[in-house]
Amino acid sequence: MPNVVFDLNPPVHRGVMDLDRGKFQKTLKVLAARITAAQTGSIKGADVLRREILDLPKIRSVEPDPVDGGSRLLLLGRITQDTLPSPVREFLAVNSQGLTTFDVNLDYDYWNADEILQAVLPEELIREGIPSSFTNTGHIGKCSGHFNLREEYLPYKHLIGQVILDKHKNLRTVVNKVDTIDTQFRVFKMEVIAGEEDFNVNESGCVFAFDFSKVYWNSRLQAEHDRIISMFQPSDVIVDVFAGVGPFAVPAAKKGCYVLGNDLNPSSSEAMQANAERNKVQPWIRVSCQDGREFIRGSATQIWREPFPHVDSPRALKQKQKAARRAREGNHPAVSGPDSEPTGPPSPRRRVDHFVMNLPASAIEFLDAFRGVLKPLRDEDKVEFGSVYGDLMPMVHCHCFTKELEMPGAEEDLRKRAAAHMGAELPAGALFHFVRRVAPNKDMYCISFRLPRDIALS
């Protein structure tokens, strides 16, 4: 491209508090060669023009001719004819229908968020850096952008939020964290600085709605949610101790598991119930709002005395409904024969298969609640207990933090702490899964282990 420097920066409007998109207009006047539509490919590919054709980001080099509908304008990286090299001029004299000028109009949509914010924020803030980095929550079409703006940017928070919302088409909402995390419920006080005030997130094939300012949600844990859920089998009974709005509970129920979902935060338990209804899995979830330790101690007894009646999984229900509809339409009549004979309903589910404890800051401290958790069941009916549980105790998945950043130090630290709270060593086969690094000196792990029988029945 010729040595012509075009100013592509947006117009500067510093210090504005409200975004006026109409003020961001700029026109670049460039030289253009008029050519026929049939010539476009051959002329554009000519060696003599290779360095002369306009080459700017997001700007086409060929435009319709506003004067002659059958012609095209090949935009050149020049402003005036007298700057064209002689070989180029001679080539265009033979192969084009003449030279003209063309206005390249740039508007608000042309520039990205950084460029617009550079043009509107005060210079002293720009020197500190542009606040365009945020955390995405959710998936395309259902996202929110999560900011943590420094104090000096707060007067311009709505302006910043609107620009970010405009320039990231997958966002519906932009929020700013107002204060530090709540120590009891792990929530931030949030304020919406642009977009819709509702928060909808798609994850694990489910839709979650919640108020970000009242509940805890971490979009970085989706892979961990999916990993744990993949361990569940349809008809397993899951006890989710710190369930939040249901990122484990709701997809597990959709898979056909039966779930006791609990959270101490009333807003979280209410959102979990609403999300169960939203995803049509209410028959598979029972929601409670209790202290985690109390919930663990009572959960197995609750399921033992009030077992889950068998309900076909959501997928199986859909398949049955589809088969019944096709049979009614006469396309696939019901199959007769021994294989189609009813076998009777499966037994109610009254054993716990998995405990999930996703509260990494303190879940390990709740392991003491498992001491004797199954003893009331055995004392009530030893024969029935043996029939339901046998020698296979529930799995426990306990999320926790450690400051030991390398194995085997992390495993040694977590084993020691878990044993101190549970009152027994973790089984030799316990799995220590690295989830993510949450800070330079802190890692998140998940310990998965079979609950020791001596602890469960102590």
The label of the residue with tokens 């039966």 reads: 258
The label of the residue with tokens 């009974």 reads: 237
* pLDDT given for residue 146 in this prediction: 56
pLDDT at 398 over 80: yes
Average pLDDT, the chain: 88
Average pLDDT over residues 433-446: 96
The dihedrals phi and psi of 206, each to the nearest 5 degrees, come to -125, 160
Contact between residue 17 and residue 156 where contact means Cβ atoms under 8 Å apart: yes
* pLDDT given for residue 183 in this prediction: 54
pLDDT at 334 over 70: no
Average pLDDT over residues 223-243: 96
Average pLDDT over residues 127-141: 61
Please compute Rg for the chain using Cα positions: 32
Torsion of CA 422, 423, 429, 432, to 10 degrees: 40
Contact between residue 410 and residue 402 where contact means Cβ atoms under 8 Å apart: yes
**Each residue of 273-317: pLDDT tens digit?**
999 999 999 999 999 999 999 999 999 999 999 999 887 777 776
**Residue of higher predicted confidence among 3 and 398:** 398
* pLDDT given for residue 436 in this prediction: 96
Average pLDDT over residues 140-164: 74
Average pLDDT over residues 412-430: 97
Pairing of strands 258-262, 237-240: parallel
Token readout for 203 is 């994850």
On the question of a cis peptide bond just before residue 64, with omega within 30 degrees of 0, the verdict is: no
Residues in CB range of 113: below 8 A, 6 or more apart: 132, 163, 164, 166, 167, 168
* pLDDT given for residue 135 in this prediction: 60
Pairing of strands 71-75, 26-36: antiparallel
* pLDDT given for residue 140 in this prediction: 31
Pairwise CA distance, residues 414 & 404, whole Å: 9
